[in-house]
């Protein structure tokens, strides 16, 4: 079944507005549709309202951590790639990331080119995953 081809949709979450602004700035010409959220509830509202291909979330946020948000995101949209970004050194154990299927932990400050590369790879992975699920789904029918 042919699906309307759309731009990959990214959800960026950070309680720091300037970070979102800088991320949006550097991804402007990457060809993404970008959504932003400044808190966990805002992010969950976006997840409930539309399909997201990749979530890039800050870790330390008031109320809930980025890790907790990504765990919730895994339940609500398992197909979306999950990435964590943090300025808090050694805040998250490797095993926790693996358990949640989080592709990588990006440290602030980040390298622009490396970030773009990581996003592209993560999207390729999630697209492949989606493809696989669709294939599997059609065969089951």
Partner 1 sequence: MDWNSQSSRIVVLRDAADGRRSEALEILSGRGGGAVIDLVSDLASCRARCASVAVDLLVLESGLRPIAGEPIEALAAIGPPLVVLLREADAAGALEVTRRGASDCVQVGIDAEGRLPLVVQEQARHGQRDRAHEAAERRIVELEDYTENIIQHMNSALVVVNAEGAITQANATAEEVLGAAAGSLLGGLVDDWFDPEGGEPSLIARTLDEGVSWKGEETVVRRSDGALVPVGISCAPMTNREGQRSGAVAVFQDLTEVKQLELQVLQSEKMASIGKLAAGVAHEINNPTGFIHANLHQMNEYLTDLRGVWKLTAELSSTVTRGDFAAAQSVAGELEALSRELDIDFVYSDFAKAVQESREGSERIRHIVQDLRDFSYRDSGERVDADINECVDSTASIVWTMMKHSVVLEKEYGELPEICCYPMQLKQVFMNLLVNAYQSIEARAKETEPGTIWVRTRIAEGGVEIEIEDTGEGISPENLGRIFDPFFTTKEVGVGTGLGLSTSYSIVERHAGQISVTSEVGRGTCFRVWLPERAPAPEPADG
Q: Which residue ranges make up the site for partner 1 (CB under 8 A)?
A: 16, 18-19, 21-23, 25-26, 60-63, 86-89, 107-110, 112
Cα-atom radius of gyration of the chain, to the nearest Å? 15
Min separation Cβ 115 and partner 1, Å: 8
Four-CA torsion 65, 52, 45, 22, nearest 10 degrees: 60
Cβ 86 to partner 1 shortest distance, Å:
8
Rounded CA separation 70/84 (Å): 8
Nearer to partner 1, 61 or 123 (CB): 61
Helix (H) or strand (E) holding 11: strand 9-13
Between residues 89 and 138, which has the closer beta carbon with respect to partner 1?
A: 89
CB of 16 to partner 1, least distance (A): 5
């Amino acid at each position: 079944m042919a699906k309307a081809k759309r731009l990959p949709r990214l959800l960026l979450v950070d309680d720091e507005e300037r970070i979102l602004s800088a991320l949006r700035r550097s991804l402007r010409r990457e060809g993404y549709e970008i959504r932003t959220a400044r808190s966990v509830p805002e992010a969950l509202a976006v997840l409930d309202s539309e399909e997201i291909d990749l979530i890039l979330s800050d870790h330390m946020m008031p109320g809930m951590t980025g890790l907790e948000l990504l765990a919730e995101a895994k339940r609500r949209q398992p197909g979306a790639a999950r990435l964590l970004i943090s300025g808090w050194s050694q805040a998250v154990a490797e095993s926790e990331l693996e358990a949640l299927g989080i592709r990588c932990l990006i440290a602030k400050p980040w390298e622009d080119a490396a970030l773009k590369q990581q996003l592209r790879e993560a999207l390729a992975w999630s697209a492949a995953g989606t493809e696989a699920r669709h294939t599997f789904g059609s065969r089951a029918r």
